[in-house]
Amino acid sequence: MGIKEIAKEANVSVATVSRVLNGTKFVSEELQRKVLEVIERQGYVANHVARSMVLKKTFTVGLIMPVVSELYHQMIFTHAEFILEEAGYKVLVCRVKDTAQSVQSYLDLLLENRVDGMILMHETSNPKVLEQLKKSQIPIVLTGIDIPGLSFPQVRIDDYQAAYDGTKYLLSHGRKRIALIGGWGYSVGDKRLEGYKTALSEAGLEIDSSLVIPGFYTMQSGSQAVNYLIRERIKFDAVFALSDEMAVGVMKELLEQGKEIPSDVAVLGFDGIELGRYTNPTLATVKQPIEQIGELAAERLLAMLNGEESEDSLILPHSISSGSSVG
Amino acid sequence: MGIKEIAKEANVSVATVSRVLNGTKFVSEELQRKVLEVIERQGYVANHVARSMVLKKTFTVGLIMPVVSELYHQMIFTHAEFILEEAGYKVLVCRVKDTAQSVQSYLDLLLENRVDGMILMHETSNPKVLEQLKKSQIPIVLTGIDIPGLSFPQVRIDDYQAAYDGTKYLLSHGRKRIALIGGWGYSVGDKRLEGYKTALSEAGLEIDSSLVIPGFYTMQSGSQAVNYLIRERIKFDAVFALSDEMAVGVMKELLEQGKEIPSDVAVLGFDGIELGRYTNPTLATVKQPIEQIGELAAERLLAMLNGEESEDSLILPHSISSGSSVG
DNA sequence: CTGAAAGCGCTTACAG
DNA sequence: CTGAAAGCGCTTACAG
């Protein structure tokens, strides 16, 4: 049951059917009525696969994102998706399950399926992937991340400054032994680490590398980090977790180990997801403008999809959101 | 840059290129080498849109899910997706934003884009949608839900029994005034409500309808329900929230209002998501076999996609997971 | 094993 | 305003 059958039954050409379907050209009311009637009666469902082939446009954008810090990424996704859907695009989401999983296969998948554009929320340094990304002719925007060597427009915060401000916030609450948990070896994490170090140095404090703990941005990972600190008898009076999810795990483990929050240990998160307002104690955090990031990333992509010049990056403001987990 | 250009440059026919690309037929080593070389050198990317059109198969399955109880639905999705991806399918996710949003547009989208099958995790009673679902020729499996009038295979728990067991669990901990929060007017919620009522009746307790509160399966909604109960001075010594996310909101509000958990009020959740083990106090809950539901739903869909007979529904076992939020 | 050709279901100049 | 026809990039009987 295609356009051809509809055409025959309505006694018109396929061109006419196509035209009433798409409203591309004026069609006399009579033919329009006839065609619409047949379509309705036959329960015709347009075939967008065929349509995409001739149009060379799929109205699909690909989104590659990590599954860690899910609540944060989901929210960005939700806001971006909303804008994209409004504009008639659908989103093919590729969720990179863990750090070991390669982005390669997802990138191939998106390219083979001819997505019109891409939003990349997952850092990668795989040279082959980088090469493919550069060569691809479709618009791409990096969201929440920065990939050195890739000149696509970015929509994100200033991670260095955000971590700097977060650290200062803890310092201003009298903390001196601040553990930092995050993913090192990635641009975002490393920049935040720099901000942390600078803030400590400026406060005249030495950087103790035993306080810099690797984490995977999951709740479990937060718990493990605290467990490690305590097991190794490393003294600390604050934890700065570089995702709210890790912070939740951190608080859980601290309470379990009999620590008081924040009197014994203050906890500061990162991201500003809704969950932080529902924990006990509530979570102080470095808040990203999640809604804005998602929406602006989508809007930038749409602009490029509409042929506008690839725009510059957008660095959005962060803020500190207080909570009872810090003094 | 299509198969045609590759063919010309390799001095073979397009048929041969297609064959080496798909490994469908034996191609002499020599031609194979020549074709592969050109493909590599040109950075050819196969066009799956064209491929889908002739094959009448997109290797895409549609997934319609609600955005409430996100952690729960995400986990089911994650497990289902894993199986599906292994089998070479990609997933087009449709996230229904709220109860007011219609499934209609997503259903149309999936059908127009010719998904090979569908996983439906969102209840709907829209008669037109139901009609379209019935008429559609593709395999569909209902996951975590039951839609009266639709005979597709289901993969879910016994919601009636699960709520019955949960209520009994609270009763066994000496609770008598159990508030129930959930979404009424949907099959899943209503069944659970029945289980709750039966358990109370069997215990010789009267059903107090002022304890049956509507909720939207979000954290915020859980908080609001508690707020309502307290504001209206309705006495209660336990809350049975029909999602863990609501339970988190419930606990938050209780603590904020100065109630002790569980001595003043016990809290029981539903779903068994990871978050419940990270809250303070930890959350007792009626646990669904999330991983199994996701995997089995995907496997059933794959079986049907492979032409196997549409199978019967699968009712999986639930369990009670203890936590310090209940006695 | 290999190729010429038809066809998948649409859209859109090009004529009329 | 309407239609005949070419073409989008593939796959696959059908011959050879």
Are residues A47 and B251, on separate chains, in Cβ contact within 8 Å?
no
pLDDT in tens, B164-178: 999 999 999 999 999
To the nearest whole Å, the CA of A113 is away from the closest chain B CA by 5
Residues A295 and A180 in one domain: no
Tokens of A56: 């060379």
Which of B45, B53, B97 faces A112 most closely, judged by CB atoms? B45
Instruction: Give the pLDDT score at B179.
Output: 98
Instruction: Give the pLDDT score at A197.
Output: 98
Are residues B48 and A114, on separate chains, in Cβ contact within 8 Å?
yes
Residues A150 and A168 in one domain: no
Identify whether A325 is part of a domain: no
Residues A310 and A166 in one domain: no
For a pLDDT cut of 70, what percent of chain A falls above it? 100
Residues B151 and B104 in one domain: yes
pLDDT greater at residue A28 or residue B323: B323
Mutate to test the interface with B, among A55, A71, A82, A113 (most CBs of B within 10 A): A113
Name the residues in A32-61 having a C-beta closer than 7 Å to nucleic acid strand C: 44, 46-47, 50-51, 53-55
> What residue has token string 């794959």?
B302
Residues of B numbered 209-228 whose beta carbons fall under 8 angstroms of chain A's beta carbons: which are they?
219-220, 223
The residue of chain B with its CA nearest to that of A282 is B252
Which of B93, B112, B280 faces A48 most closely, judged by CB atoms? B112
Residues A165 and A228 in one domain: yes
Which of A46, A90, A251 faces B92 most closely, judged by CB atoms? A90
Are residues B275 and A93, on separate chains, in Cβ contact within 8 Å?
no
Report yes or no: B54 at the A interface, CB cutoff 8 Å: no
**Structural domain containing residue B133:** 58-157+290-316
DSSP string, B199-255: HHHHTTPPP-GGGEEE--SSHHHHHHHHHHHHHTT---SEEEESSHHHHHHHHHHHH
Question: A108 to chain B: which residues are within 8 Å by CB?
Answer: 45
Report yes or no: B113 at the A interface, CB cutoff 8 Å: yes
The total number of structural domains in chain A stands at: 3
Report yes or no: A177 at the B interface, CB cutoff 8 Å: no
To the nearest whole Å, the CA of A27 is away from the closest chain B CA by 23
Tell me: pLDDT of B76 over 80: yes
Identify whether A52 is part of a domain: no
Report yes or no: B49 at the A interface, CB cutoff 8 Å: yes
Instruction: Give the pLDDT score at B203.
Output: 97
Instruction: Give the pLDDT score at B312.
Output: 85
B84 — pLDDT class (breaks 50, 70, 90): very high
Are residues B74 and A78, on separate chains, in Cβ contact within 8 Å?
no
B259 — pLDDT class (breaks 50, 70, 90): very high
Residues B252 and B167 in one domain: yes
CA of residue B139 to C1' of nucleotide C13, angstroms = 40
Are residues B95 and A113, on separate chains, in Cβ contact within 8 Å?
no
Q: Which long-range contacts (CB under 8 A, 24 or more apart) does A43-49 make?
A: A43/B135, A44/A1, A44/A6, A45/B108, A45/B111, A45/B112, A46/A21, A46/B112, A47/A2, A47/B112, A47/B114, A48/B112, A48/B113, A48/B114, A49/B49, A49/B52, A49/B53, A49/B58, A49/B113, A49/B114
Identify whether A305 is part of a domain: yes
Residues A118 and A197 in one domain: no
Tell me: pLDDT of B25 over 80: no
Instruction: Give the pLDDT score at B24.
Output: 79
Query: Using CA atoms, how far apart are residues A128 and A111, in angstroms rounded to an integer?
Result: 14
Question: What count of other Cβ atoms lies within 10 Å of the Cβ of residue A54?
Answer: 9
Is the previous residue joined to A262 through a cis bond, with omega within 30 degrees of 0?
Answer: yes
Identify whether A251 is part of a domain: yes
pLDDT in tens, A81-118: 999 999 999 999 999 987 777 799 999 999 999 999 99
A271 — pLDDT class (breaks 50, 70, 90): very high
Instruction: Give the pLDDT score at B1.
Output: 79
Instruction: Give the pLDDT score at B110.
Output: 97
Instruction: Give the pLDDT score at A311.
Output: 77
> Do A222 and A250 contact (CB within 8 A), yes or no?
yes
Contact partners, residue A157, CB within 8 Å, separation at least 6: A144, A288, A289, A293, A315, A316, A317, A318
Contact partners, residue A40, CB within 8 Å, separation at least 6: none
In the sheet that holds B90-96, the strands lie side by side as B90-96, B60-66, B117-120, B140-143, B154-157, B314-316
- Helix, strand, coil share (%) of chain B residues, nearest 5: 45, 15, 35
Instruction: Give the pLDDT score at A97.
Output: 83
Q: Which helix (H) or strand (E) holds B192?
A: helix B187-202
A7, closest nucleotide (Cα–C1'): D3
Instruction: Give the pLDDT score at A24.
Output: 79
> Do B293 and B156 contact (CB within 8 A), yes or no?
yes
Residues A30 and A66 in one domain: no
Residues B179 and B260 in one domain: yes
Tell me: pLDDT of B327 over 90: no
Rg (CA), chain A: 25
> What residue has token string 């696509």?
A152
Longest dimension (CA), chain A: 85
Taking each helix axis from N to C end, the angle separating B290-305 and B70-86, rounded to the nearest 10 degrees, works out to 40
Identify whether B180 is part of a domain: yes
Q: Which residue is nearest to nucleotide D6 (CA to C1')?
A: A54
Longest dimension (CA), chain B: 85
Tokens of B121: 């995790």
Q: Give bridge partners of residue B321 from the DSSP assignment.
A: B285
CATH number at residue A27: 1.10.260.40
Q: Identify the CA nearest to A314 among candidates A152, A193, A189.
A: A152
Residues A7 and A32 in one domain: yes
For a pLDDT cut of 90, what percent of chain B falls above it? 87
CATH number at residue B311: 3.40.50.2300
Tell me: pLDDT of A61 over 80: yes
Query: Using CA atoms, how far apart are residues A64 and A95, in angstroms rounded to an integer?
Result: 6
Query: Using CA atoms, how far apart are residues B184 and B203, in angstroms rounded to an integer?
Result: 23
Strand D nucleotides within 7 Å of a protein CB: 1-13
For a pLDDT cut of 70, what percent of chain B falls above it? 100
Are residues A279 and B279, on separate chains, in Cβ contact within 8 Å?
yes
A13, closest nucleotide (Cα–C1'): D3
Identify whether A324 is part of a domain: no
Residues B93 and B152 in one domain: yes
B101 — pLDDT class (breaks 50, 70, 90): confident
Query: Using CA atoms, how far apart are residues A83 and A64, in angstroms rounded to an integer?
Result: 17
Query: Using CA atoms, how far apart are residues B295 and B179, in angstroms rounded to an integer?
Result: 33
The residue of chain A with its CA nearest to that of B281 is A280
Average pLDDT over chain A, rounded to whole? 95
Identify whether A25 is part of a domain: yes
Are residues A112 and B274, on separate chains, in Cβ contact within 8 Å?
no
Query: Using CA atoms, how far apart are residues A293 and B1, in angstroms rounded to an integer?
Result: 35
Query: Using CA atoms, how far apart are residues B155 and B135, in angstroms rounded to an integer?
Result: 21
Instruction: Give the pLDDT score at A117.
Output: 97
CA of residue A54 to C1' of nucleotide D7, angstroms = 8
Residues A249 and A304 in one domain: no
pLDDT greater at residue A308 or residue A194: A194
Phi and psi, residue B92, nearest 5°: -100, 110
A152 — pLDDT class (breaks 50, 70, 90): very high
Q: Which residue is nearest to nucleotide C2 (CA to C1')?
A: B16
Instruction: Give the pLDDT score at A15.
Output: 93
CA of residue B53 to C1' of nucleotide C6, angstroms = 15
pLDDT in tens, B136-161: 989 999 999 999 889 999 999 999 99
pLDDT greater at residue A69 or residue A243: A243
pLDDT in tens, B36-75: 999 999 999 999 999 999 999 999 999 999 988 889 999 9
> Do A177 and A208 contact (CB within 8 A), yes or no?
yes
Tell me: pLDDT of B97 over 80: yes
B275 — pLDDT class (breaks 50, 70, 90): very high
pLDDT greater at residue B101 or residue A147: A147
List C-alpha distances in Å: A27 to A7, A20, A22, A204, B176. Answer: 14, 7, 11, 77, 69
CA atoms within 13 A on the CB side of A57: 7
Tell me: pLDDT of B311 over 80: no
Instruction: Give the pLDDT score at B98.
Output: 76
Contact partners, residue B188, CB within 8 Å, separation at least 6: B123, B144, B145, B146, B159
